[in-house]
Amino acid sequence: MEKQKINMSISDLAPDFFAHESSINFNPTQFILDFKCITPRVDPRIKECTVISLKHDIVIMDAYHAKKLYELLGEVIKKYEKEFGRIEAPKQIKLLEKKNKKEKKSEGEEAIAPSYLG
């Protein structure tokens, strides 16, 4: 059998993306992972409304590969926590969640997720 040469080109032109929010949805054949970065913008020229920048990257996977990702992520998190300790919410997030819960209880509503709108 003759050796075959392969010339492979890997494109990594997409910029790095920081996501501080995410959501996962599914349909019968796919899982949809939506990674979001929501940033309030201050523009002194616009006084009547808040300007919000929303960027998101979506990854669509079939169910089998989503399950493999789940397993791999679990393994990596176990290794991380073994080396660096348990992953916990930052102190500031815990304080904000506690504050939101207290405010919503006093208003008779359910607590909501932290708001990045100020």
CA distances 37 to 19, 41, 48, 56, 59, Å, are: 5, 12, 23, 6, 15
Written as one letter, the residue type at 91 is K
**pLDDT value at position 79?**
98
**pLDDT value at position 78?**
98
**pTM to 2 decimal places:** 0.63
**pLDDT value at position 100?**
87
End-to-end Cα, the chain, rounded Å:
66
**pLDDT value at position 107?**
67
Which residue pairs from 65-70 have beta carbons closer than 8 angstroms and sit at least 24 positions apart in sequence?
66/26, 66/31
Copy the structure tokens of residue 51: 């300007």
**pLDDT value at position 111?**
47
**pLDDT value at position 17?**
82
**pLDDT value at position 117?**
43
**pLDDT value at position 38?**
85
CA distances 108 to 1, 77, 90, 95, 114, Å, are: 75, 37, 27, 20, 17
pLDDT, tens digit only, all 118 positions of the chain: 678 887 777 777 777 888 888 999 999 999 999 999 888 877 777 777 777 888 889 999 999 999 999 999 999 999 999 999 999 989 998 899 898 888 877 766 554 555 544 4
